[in-house]
Amino acid sequence: MRLVKFLAHAGVASRRAAERLIADGRVTVDGEVNTNPATDVHATSGVAVDGLAVAPEPREVHALNKPSGVVSTARDTHGRPTVVDLVRSPRRLYPVGRLDADSTGLILLTNDGELADLLTHPRYGVEKVYRARIQPGRVSPRALKALREGVQLEDGRTAPARVRQVAPGVLEIALREGRKRQVRRMCEAVGHRVVELERVAFGPLGLRGLEQGRSRRLKDAEVERLRRVATSPNRPAAGRTRAP
């Protein structure tokens, strides 16, 4: 197995983050610094990161209903609560993508770097669905049409999206791209301010009654559904993946 894939499977980091660790000279194989991510390694190769031995661990995926005020990182230098703090697991978990601290809803955490890359890499375009409470609450047909077809932001035009008004002042927006604070900026572009934002679905997964602040470990069948959605040959192209 290639070194970068070994680190991702061991739960050290996503594949892209593992590539950075290797390039920075923080990874050793049999006691020697190795900066080649394609090096063939196995469980007895003596792989270590920052001097700590790395061994493959069972892979887990957890769904969390993130509360407001919780940051979507494994650690926070300012002492704020993180999504990792809310999930009970002996594994080294990290979030799959991000939600803004003031956004709520479904976020996944895993130690499976390969799956995390499938779910977040721009070329796979896994759909995420958001509920946005907006002001002013009345949305014109022209604004809805613009959101569906794409609006011009400072970092380029957004891709087509599924958008519907599910209640007065509440929009449901499904994206296959994920630029920084994208839902908020899209709504602002058509004259509406987002006052509450919740992610209600990630690919085939929904909150399914999961209370805010609570998490659950996904079943193998659910993980496989996520993997199939990301690798489907019919998936559309998408933009960048960051926090909405």
100 is catalytic: yes
Please state which architecture CATH assigns to domain 3-53.
Roll (3.10)
The pLDDT score that the predictor gives to residue 244 is: 57
* Overall CATH class of domain 58-244: alpha beta
How is the chain split into domains, by residue range? 3-53, 58-244
Dist CA 103 CA 159 (whole Å) = 22
Over residues 130-161, the pLDDT tens digits come to: 999 999 999 999 999 999 999 999 999 999 99
Q: What is the mean pLDDT of residues 95-123?
A: 91
Dist CA 82 CA 99 (whole Å) = 11
The pLDDT score that the predictor gives to residue 28 is: 96
- Of the listed 24, 30, 100, 102, which one is catalytic? 100
Phi, psi dihedral angles at 170 (to 5 degrees): -130, 125
A 10 A CB-CB count for 107 gives 25
3-state DSSP assignment of residue 218? coil
Q: Answer whether 161's CB lies under 8 Å from 239's CB.
A: no
pTM for the whole structure: 0.78
A 10 A CB-CB count for 69 gives 10
